[in-house]
């Protein structure tokens, strides 16, 4: 008698096959072996020749305190100040000798006429239309490198008044120091006249003064 494949029979066969597959999969999952545990690392062995470290002692004896003698007042006194390393100031320079007469020389650039004359300190003296007034005249001190004469003076320009007319007001053309060794260092600037210092001399004994 032939087997009839009814729908009910096919459904039972499918259900049985599905159950068989599920049981087989569960058994396969449980049959897999567990991963091996990690291998512990072996402790490092000291290299040959290097000494092994010793374990510290369990307890260390505390040293006894050292007796210190008392300190006297002399030992705690303030220390003397260190010696100064600054250079000592140089010696006091020698004073210049100051004189009361200046010897000057003037030149007329138009006529080429020159004249050497003396001017006492503090007393104005006229050369043509120039008036010289020396304020100070001194010579260099022995400790200075150059032997020189120096004069401080003023030069005013004041033409002589015409007869019957009042004199004109003076106009200052120079004020400062003149040096006998360097006449061009601080010269008189005038279109007609020129003048320079020759030396300083004393009409009386020289007067010592500061520079």
pLDDT tens digits, residue range 114-168?
999 999 999 999 999 999 999 999 998 888 888 899 999 999 998 887 888 887 8
Picking from 150, 144, 146, the residue whose alpha carbon sits closest to that of residue 178 is 150
d(CA 151, CA 184): 14
If one compares 148 and 58, the residue with the highest pLDDT of the two is 148
**pLDDT value of residue 69:** 46
**pLDDT value of residue 174:** 94
> Burial letters for 51-64: b for 16+ Cβ neighbours within 10 Å, e otherwise?
eeeeeeeeeeeeee
**pLDDT value of residue 123:** 94
What's the mean pLDDT in 55-65? 53
Tokens for 113?
Answer: 């006429």
**pLDDT value of residue 104:** 94
Picking from 130, 178, 171, the residue whose alpha carbon sits closest to that of residue 153 is 178
Picking from 117, 109, 110, 134, the residue whose alpha carbon sits closest to that of residue 194 is 109
Contact 102, 203 (CB under 8 A): no
What's the mean pLDDT in 77-104? 66
**pLDDT value of residue 198:** 94
**pLDDT value of residue 186:** 85
If one compares 118 and 80, the residue with the highest pLDDT of the two is 118
What's the mean pLDDT in 2-18? 67
d(CA 11, CA 135): 148
- What mean pLDDT, rounded, does the chain reach? 74
Segment 24-44, tens digit of pLDDT: 665 544 545 555 555 555 555
What is the 3-state secondary structure of 50-70?
CCCCCCCCCCCCCCCCCCCCC
Segment 168-206, tens digit of pLDDT: 888 999 999 999 998 888 889 899 999 999 999 988 665
Pairing of strands 130-139, 149-157: antiparallel
Picking from 177, 3, 8, the residue whose alpha carbon sits closest to that of residue 102 is 177
DSSP H helix total and E strand total for the chain: 1, 9
d(CA 101, CA 186): 20
């Amino acid at each position: 008698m032939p087997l009839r494949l009814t729908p009910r029979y096919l459904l039972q066969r499918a259900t049985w096959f599905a159950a068989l597959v599920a049981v087989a999969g569960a058994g396969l999952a449980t049959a897999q072996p567990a991963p091996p545990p990690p291998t512990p690392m072996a402790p490092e062995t000291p290299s040959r020749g290097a000494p092994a470290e010793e374990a510290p002692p369990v307890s260390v004896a505390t040293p006894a305190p050292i007796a210190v003698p008392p300190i006297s007042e002399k030992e705690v006194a303030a220390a003397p100040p260190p010696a100064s390393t600054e250079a000592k100031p140089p010696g006091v320079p020698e004073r210049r000798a100051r004189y009361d007469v200046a010897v000057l020389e003037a030149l007329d650039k138009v006529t080429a006429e020159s004249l050497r004359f003396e001017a006492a300190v503090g007393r104005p003296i006229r050369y043509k239309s120039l008036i010289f007034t020396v304020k100070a005249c001194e010579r260099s001190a022995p400790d200075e490198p150059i032997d020189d004469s120096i004069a401080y003076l003023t030069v005013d320009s004041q033409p002589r008044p015409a007869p019957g007319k009042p004199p004109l007001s003076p106009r200052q053309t120079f004020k400062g120091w003149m040096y006998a060794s360097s006449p061009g260092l601080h010269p008189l600037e005038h279109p007609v006249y020129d003048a320079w210092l020759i030396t300083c001399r004393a009409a009386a004994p020289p007067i010592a003064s500061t520079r």
